[in-house]
Structure formats: structure tokens, C-alpha cells
Structure 1
Amino acid sequence: MCLLTLSVSLPSLRPPSCAKGVAYEDCTKRATTFQVGIFYCALYIIAAGTGGTKPNISTMGADQFDDFEPKERTQKLSFFNWWMFSIFFGTLFSNTFLVYIQDNVGWSVGYGIPTIGLLLSILVFLVGTPFYRHKFPSGSPFTRMAKVLVAALRKWRVSLPDDPKELHELSLEEYDKAGKFRIDYTPSLRFLNKAAVKSGPNTSWILCPVTQVEETKQMIKMIPILIATFIPSTTVAQVHTLFIKQGTTLDLHMGPHFEIPPASLTAFVTIFMLSSLVIYDRYIVPTIKKYTKNPRGFTLLQRMGIGLVIHVIVMITASLTERRRLNVARDHGINDAKGIVPLTIFTLLPQFALMGIADTFVEVAKIEFFYDQAPPGMKSLGTSYFTTSLGIGNFLSSFLLTNVAKITKKHNHKGWILDNLNESHLDYYYAFYAVLSVLNLVFFVMVSKSYVYNTDVMESKIELLQAREMLPSKAIIQENGVMKDGEK
């Protein structure tokens, strides 16, 4: 952020301004290679930093709750609701106040404020470090998974024993020394169980304990769910691209003297997300769990599925709204790129509002699911599935936009997506997304029905603590509610 702020502040790093009243595409002054390089370097550093912080901060936050304390275990079920609340609250601040500052005061101040905010965040993080519950690194999860895959492939001809107890596994004491917990055998993905068959040398690339095999299974079996989140992530990407582009063609006036910046339209998503999240956590969950007997109300996949249904409704709504906008534009003879359609910007409010409500279900359930279903030693890798979904969704959005634009221009057709939205057919493109969302919903239902939730590792934790004589008996713990708070 410091480099980005400098790139828009220092004259030597900032590209020359166009003459007043001249559009950027008609401007003869361009940024130098060095200026462009500095700007993109700043963006890539931010991307790299985001990749390192996003999966780990949420994981670290969830790890601060003690599963052996019934109160904290219950509070943990709401953690990701309020985690996403804080993220979207910051987004609301960015989409309203900072966008206004950038448009009316200057980019230097607009970027300088979040830079100072990040510096303060680092300071707060460092001050709080002595009070956090830390988990020591346990090695690369990719290496542990690779060992299981290699060992299973090497022994693909080996027969599995009838009794799972004959598979290689470490004792509870060995896991205790390493600060880990044992995961029991499951029959899913049976081929990987061959990595734990006692046959041949006992090196780590040929023989793996059952717990390591089960960790690999848990990460692999989430991949179909991860794939089912790619299309929803492309839908979310439309909010920051085409939805805003639509807004630039509408009447931005809010009263006689104030115009809403087009980029601030995303504030509607945030406002409705924050509102619906509070309603969901405080009212819907307490009501639903009386009938489902699930402390989360809905299961994580059910919650995600509800959000995917709303995504379909979002794209249908966007398609119908765009068709109305085009009809009004044609009725008034507006067909140039800079023409303003005599419709208020709030015409787009339904699609932005529905997207905010969808985020309450899809995005929160997504990050909580990948954290909850990842094995204890791979929680950060699990939450990285969440950011992977967003990243691939953005790339897929660009891929679809480019190819749909090319395909629809063939055979001398105008095409659905042009620089001039008043001559485009975004209504067709949004209908295409609605169809994709329906097909993706069908795929999601299929993979979620076959998905088996992991056994709660609390069982293994209790056995370990009993072995260390820290707890009197499992029955007492069950009576106190520790085992009853889980979803599975």
C-alpha cells in the first residue's frame, strides 16, 4: 500500500494527466514503462500479501476458541458470521467514504488512509501477540499429502487387509509428543488406504499412518465442493464489473446536488449483507435449530445451497432489469456510449440487495465449511480453498466475458458485449449466467448428497486426555455437553 500510495502521489511515478475534458482513450499522454511497472509491482505485492494473510487470519481467529469449554465451543459456531461481518463492514467503509475521497479529494489521500489503517492493524496485531493461542507449524500439508499419494501408487497392487486395525498407525502417546490428534480409519477413498498397508520398507514415502491418510482424504473429498463454488464466485465478480458498468449509464442523482459514484453501488451489497447476517445469526438460527436440532440451524452445505438458489434469482433479476434499461434507452433514442438512460440508479437495487443476501449464505458457509472440514493440522490449507474459489472465479469471469463477446460477434452479429452498453445485450449475458447457475446448482446438489461429514476429532482429543489422566471419563464430558455441541 505504501508503494501504491507513492505511485499516485509522486510526480515521477504518476502518469501525466489528460487535458481537461479529454477522455482517457483520446489522451496522447501515456504512462511510461517504469511508471506502469511500479504500479503493477505494488498490485502484485498486495496480491501476494493477501494470499498469505487471508487464509491464516481467519484460521487463527477460529483457533482462539477452546473446544473443551462448552461456552467457547458454542461461540465458535458464530465466529465466521461475525468474521465476515467485519470484512464487509470494512468494505462498506471503502465503497462509500474512500471512494468519495478518491473522487473528490484525491487518490493520494484515498490510498493514504487505508495505508495508515494497515500500519495501525499491524501494531494492534503485534501488541496482542502474547495473548494469542498459538499452534506450532507441523510441516507442509502438501508434503504430507504427496507422501500418501506416492505411497498408495507404489502399492497399488497390494491388497487391503480385512481388518483396518492391521493398517499402520501410531500410538496416542506418539501423537501426544508431536502435539497432534489421531483420526480414525474411514472406508471412503479406499485406494488411499494402501498407503498404510504394512508392506515393504517403512520409509515415509512408502508407509504412512492412518491419520495421515485420513488427512489427505479429508482435503481431497472437499475438491468437488470447491469446484461447485467456482460459478458462484464468477457471479460475485459481476458486482464489481458489469453491475457497476450498468450504473454508469443511469441517472446517478440523489437529490438536486449530489451524485452517487458508480463504484459506490457495491455498498448496497454490503449493507444488505450486514443486515441479513445479523438477522440470520440472531433470529433465523435460534428458530431453525429448534426443528433441525443442529446448533448451526442449517448444515453448512444446506446454507450454501440456499445461497446458490439466490444466485440464480440474482442473475434472472439482473437480466430482466437490463432488458428494461435497454427498452427505455431505445424508446428515448439513446444509442451512444455516453448516453444516460432516464432511469434512477436505484433501478439496480434489487440485484445488489439480493447479492448481499446471497453472500450471507454462500460466502460465510463456504469459508466455515472449508475450515470445519479440514483436518486439525491443515486448517489454513482448508481456508485457502475459500480464497482459491474467489481467485479462480475472477479468472473464469474474464475468460467467459472474453469468449462470449468473441463468439457472439461471429457471422456479422453485433455481439452481446460491446464498449457501448446501450448497443449491447447484457440481458442475454445475464440469462446465460442464470443457466450456468442452475446447472451448477444441480451439480452442487449431487456432490453435497454424496458428501460425508468428518467425524469430530473431539473423540480423539478426549481419548488422548484420558490417556494423560486429564479428564475423568468420556461419559462425564458428554453429560456436560461438550460432545453434543458438534454438528456431526
Structure 2
Amino acid sequence: MKYSELEHVEGESSGKKLSEEAREDCMQNSKRGGWTTFPYIIGTELGLSLAATGWGCNLTVYLITVFSLKSIHATQISSIVAGSSNLFPIAGAILADSFFGSFSVISIFSIISLSGMILITLTASVDFLRPPPCTSASLGALYTGIVLASLGAGGTGITLATMGANQFQHNHEHSIFFNWYFVISYACIATSSTVVVYIQERVSWGLGFGVCVAANLSGFMVFMLGKQYYRYVKPKESPFTSIARVVGAAIMKRNAARSNCYFYGTAELSRLNCGPTTDFSFLNNAALKPESNQSSDLLLDKRSWKLCTVEEVEDLKTLLKIIPLWSSSILLSATIGVFMSLILLEALTMDKHFGDNFEVPAASFLTFNILSTCISLSILDRLVFPMWQKLIGHYPTPLQRIGVGHIINIIALVGSALVENKRLQVVKNLHLDDQPGSVVPMSAFWLVINLTIIGISEALHYPGQVAFYYQEFPESLRNTATAMISLIVGIGFYSSAVVIGLIRRATDWLPDDINEGRADYVYWIMSGIGMVNFAYYLICAKFFNYGAAMKLSVHSDPYGN
């Protein structure tokens, strides 16, 4: 915001001129930011993302091969870690927006992640912590390191992206920044899944984790070097506080007499006399003016826990309407989490050779999912969506994209069940089910088919969800809207760990050696859950009404902007 604009806003809200301190802050920020900060932000993302994905993508294999954990137990731990890494960004975003600011949060969480990765590295390189034997000290160091590294990675992810966007003032600059930001993120995932994983499995785990430590430290140092160039945004009230205030005020005034005297916050909105909607009408009490002051909005407290504006009430109603659609995405992510866990265990038991001499690490097969997503995004953006627009007359809506993503996800799960059934037939024919740790003479590249299909699904439903939440969330929650995907993925991975635990408790389909189990049945169960969830999604989508902004934007471009 420019100095003149800030002075105008302050003058309207308080009727006083800006303080000298506010003037100085504004003048300083006007000289900061811009493309000067771009190398520092991108360099930081390069280091931190490479570090986080480097230890995380191969964690299951490390737990199985070095710490001798049972395979299913290891996948559950990895799912919980993946879930935590996607939930912690929400906490980081709230801390940055409401209390400490982005710079402080990124700095602190970078140090936390560095500490965690150092501990993980020590478990692979220091004699008294490196199994065998697997002692309580080594497990304690490992789990502490995992928690710290997950917390640190989560706290920097979304916050760094937000801080990077804050360096620019124009929408087209934001678009360019985010494009490069996500290109770097995907490049780091691809590098970690191939180069870093290869070092870990073929050279040494200590050196592989050491690369992650060096990357984290480098990212932190690059971030600190740009300190004098950054544009800083001061923390403000969390939008979640507004939600809590609406709920609290509605409860406290649940027995209030009905009237048409609602609090709008400004005299201009009050004169429009457009009252709250009738949906979730019990929340309207939160905006009812007290009987002692129903004549003026100017004397009322806009941050009271007993009184909220009509806009704040309507914002909460919008969130409540979105929740059913949001919940359907959790089960979608849960099926993907189970898929990713089992696909890695399958790869560990199959022939991973590419040619005669080169063996692909099991975790590197997940790279095909990333490549599929990236390629699919390009094809959808440049070919499919424009063709859709010519045939139908408008670009597909976010809900349509998400729905197609559901269908393709189910196809991938069915395909995975068929491939696993074929693998188990080979196991049975060769009597490998009573030979723990045996390698099935079936190419692991059969798994690439369904990894590719899942990638196509993700290219549809993840961007569709981002567009949907961004367009439908209230204005005050726009920054939080894009973080909803991270929250969904986090809860989805937690759910996948729970699902695997329940299946193990109720059946014998997932023993410690999957050659003795029936993982194909698990895929069929996930396919069934996906179908039921898709039906639930269709019902929610049918009864959802797009906001006015979305109805206009659907004709403009493939992302509804």
C-alpha cells in the first residue's frame, strides 16, 4: 500500500493523521521489496524444500532397512509425518499473520527444522545412535528429530510463499512469482526423490541426510542475507478470531428479542439496510444491536465479543456452506495417502532394475507421480480447457474439475488393485509367500501406470480446490483459503494411517510381509470408499450455489480469475 493510500485509510477510520512512526514504516516499505528480493526468497525455498523433501520422501525405507521397523508400522509413521507436515503450515500462517510476522516465523522454524535434521543425521552416522542395535536412545533421537524437522518444514512452507507474494504490488507479479515458486518446489521434490534418495541408499544414509542439513543451512543463510531488502507486513487480527466472536456473540444473545436493528460497522452500509440472510438464522443474533443503542453504528465497538457486523456473520455462513464439499476432499486425500503408502511397499518387493545394471530406488518411483502432475497441468491449461471452452461455451468450473479428479482417482485405485492381484499371483505361483524379504520377479515399472493416473487426477482436483476455495471464501479469509489444501492433505494422511490401522486390526490383509497379505483387497476397499465419497460429493455440489464473483469469472479463464 502506498503512503498516500495508507494516510487516506487511516484518516477515514480515525480522523487523525498518521503518526510519525507509521509514516517512517510506510516510507521504508515503499523502498523495499520487488524483484530485488526474488533471488533471496527463491534461494530460501530451494534450500528449505530440498532439505524437507530429502529426508521425508525416503523415511519409510529408512525406518524399515535401518531401524528394522515392520513395513506397515513404518508406512503409518510416514503417513503421520506427512500429515503433520501439511497441518503445521496452518499454525505457521496464523502465527505469522496474527502475532509475529512472516520474517520471524520463517527464521525460527528454519532453525527448528535444522535442529531436527541434525538429529536425524546423527542417527545414521554416530555409532551409539546408529542401529543395530536399535536402542531407546536411538529411537528417541530419531522421533525427536522427525518431530522437529516436520514442525520446521511446516512452519516455513506457506509462510515463505506468503512473504514472497508480499514483496510485490501487482497481480501479474504475483502470478510470475507463484509460477516460479511452484516450479522450484516441484524441482526440489524431483531432485530429492532421485539424487538425494540415490545417495542415501547407494552411498550412505549419513551423507544423504547430511546433504539435507547443508541445504537447510544454506536456505536459512540466504534468507537472512536478504533481511534489509524485504518488505514487511505487520501482524493483524486473525480472521479466525472473527469467527470465534460470531459464534460467541450468537450464543450469548441466543434468547435476544428479534428485531431488524443490525450492526453493519459503517454508516454507509447501515443506510443500505440489507439485513443478513435467513440461512443459519441463529447466527444473526450476533449482529443484533443492543436495545440501548440502536440508532448509530459509530458508537459501537467493532471488535466486541458481544456484537459482530453483518458481514462477519455472513462470512461464517459462507464457511459453513463450504464445509460439506471440503469434507469430501478429506476422504479423497485419504485414499491417495493409502495408495502412496502401499505403492512404496510394493516397489520394495518388486524388480526395480532399469536395464541390466541400474536399479531404481523404491522412493524414486514416486517421481513419476510428480512428472505426471506437471505434464497434465500443462496439457490441461494449454489444450483441454480451451477445447472445453470452445465446445461448451465456458471453461470448466472448479467443482467440475474436482469431480473429474474424483473419477480418475477411482480408476487409479481399481488399476492398482488389478496390478497388485497380478503381483500376488506371481508370488503364489513361485511360492514366495513363505520367503520373507524375497523379491518378486515382476517389474516395478507396472506401478508407473497408476502413479501416472493418480498424477492426472491431482492435476485436476488440487488446482480445482485452490480455485474453488479462493473464489468462494470470504474476503477476510482469502489468505487462509489457499492453505485449506494443505489442511485437507494433512487430515487425509492422518486418516490414511487410521484406515491402515483399522484394516490391520480387522483383517489379515496387511501383514508385515505384504507377500503374505491381500493388499489388492485394500485397494478394492479404497475404490469403494472413493465411489461412495464421489456420490456424496455430487450431492454436495448439486446443492451448492456459487457466489456471484464465481458466476462471472467462469467465463473468463481456466482458473476462474
Q: Same fold (TM over 0.5)?
A: yes
Show the 5 A alignment for 1:7-406.
Answer: 7-10=119-122, 15=128, 17=130, 29-33=133-137, 35-60=138-163, 76=175, 84-125=182-223, 135-158=233-256, 161=259, 166-171=261-266, 186-200=277-291, 204-291=304-391, 294=394, 297-335=395-433, 336-406=435-505
Q: Which moved more, 1:6-15 or 1:113-122?
A: 6-15
Q: Verify the 8 A CA contact 2:289 2:307 in the aligned structure 1.
A: yes
Output the CA distance in 1 between the equivalents of 2:462 and 2:251. Answer: 36
Using a 3 Å threshold, how does the CA distance of structure 1 residues 130 and 239 change in structure 2: closer, same or farther?
A: farther
- The structure richer in helix per residue is 2
Q: Verify the 8 A CA contact 1:371 1:382 in the aligned structure 2.
A: yes
Output the CA distance in 2 between the equivalents of 1:391 and 1:349. Answer: 24
Q: Which moved more, 1:107-116 or 1:7-16?
A: 7-16
Q: CA deviation at 1:101?
A: 1.0
1:342 match: secondary structure: strand
- 2:538 counterpart residue number: 445
Q: Verify the 8 A CA contact 2:119 2:144 in the aligned structure 1.
A: no
Q: Verify the 8 A CA contact 1:15 1:32 in the aligned structure 2.
A: no
Using a 3 Å threshold, how does the CA distance of structure 1 residues 46 and 6 change in structure 2: closer, same or farther?
A: closer
The one-letter code of the counterpart of 1:168 is: F
Output the CA distance in 2 between the equivalents of 1:86 and 1:61. Answer: 13
Output the CA distance in 2 between the equivalents of 1:168 and 1:344. Answer: 67
Q: CA deviation at 1:3?
A: 2.8
Q: CA deviation at 1:388?
A: 1.9
Using a 3 Å threshold, how does the CA distance of structure 1 residues 83 and 32 change in structure 2: closer, same or farther?
A: same
Q: CA deviation at 1:139?
A: 0.8
Say yes or no: does 1:3 pair with 2:103. Answer: no
1:343 match: secondary structure: strand
Q: Name structure 1 gaps, 5 residues minimum.
A: 19-26, 175-182, 409-414, 458-477
TM-score normalised by L of structure 1: 0.78
1:268 match: secondary structure: helix
Q: Verify the 8 A CA contact 1:215 1:375 in the aligned structure 2.
A: yes
Output the CA distance in 2 between the equivalents of 1:54 and 1:453. Answer: 30
Using a 3 Å threshold, how does the CA distance of structure 1 residues 333 and 431 change in structure 2: closer, same or farther?
A: same
Q: Verify the 8 A CA contact 1:254 1:260 in the aligned structure 2.
A: yes
Q: CA deviation at 1:192?
A: 1.8
Output the CA distance in 1 between the equivalents of 2:401 and 2:136. Answer: 49
Q: Verify the 8 A CA contact 1:250 1:345 in the aligned structure 2.
A: yes
Q: Verify the 8 A CA contact 2:246 2:286 in the aligned structure 1.
A: yes
Q: CA deviation at 1:434?
A: 0.1
2:358 match: secondary structure: coil
Q: Which moved more, 1:138-147 or 1:253-262?
A: 138-147
TM-score normalised by L of structure 2: 0.68
1:451 match: secondary structure: coil
Output the CA distance in 2 between the equivalents of 1:82 and 1:406. Answer: 45
Q: CA deviation at 1:280?
A: 1.6
Output the CA distance in 1 between the equivalents of 2:431 and 2:522. Answer: 23
2:359 match: secondary structure: coil
Using a 3 Å threshold, how does the CA distance of structure 1 residues 284 and 133 change in structure 2: closer, same or farther?
A: farther
Q: Name structure 2 gaps, 5 residues minimum.
A: 1-112, 293-299
The one-letter code of the counterpart of 1:379 is: R
Using a 3 Å threshold, how does the CA distance of structure 1 residues 7 and 88 change in structure 2: closer, same or farther?
A: same
Output the CA distance in 2 between the equivalents of 1:382 and 1:191. Answer: 25
Using a 3 Å threshold, how does the CA distance of structure 1 residues 257 and 353 change in structure 2: closer, same or farther?
A: same
* CA deviation string 1:377-416 (max 9, x = no partner): 32343333222212211121111111112212xxxxxx11
* CA deviation string 1:88-143 (max 9, x = no partner): 33211111111001112222332233333334444555566777776543312222
Output the CA distance in 2 between the equivalents of 1:361 and 1:484. Answer: 18
Output the CA distance in 2 between the equivalents of 1:83 and 1:6. Answer: 26
Over the aligned positions, Cα root-mean-square deviation in angstroms equals: 3.4
Q: Verify the 8 A CA contact 2:467 2:560 in the aligned structure 1.
A: no
Identity across the alignment (%): 29
Output the CA distance in 1 between the equivalents of 2:473 and 2:501. Answer: 35
Output the CA distance in 2 between the equivalents of 1:382 and 1:350. Answer: 32
- 1:411 counterpart residue number: none
Output the CA distance in 2 between the equivalents of 1:51 and 1:101. Answer: 25
Output the CA distance in 1 between the equivalents of 2:546 and 2:230. Answer: 29
Output the CA distance in 1 between the equivalents of 2:178 and 2:399. Answer: 15
The one-letter code of the counterpart of 2:543 is: S
Output the CA distance in 2 between the equivalents of 1:159 and 1:487. Answer: 42
Q: Verify the 8 A CA contact 1:59 1:383 in the aligned structure 2.
A: no
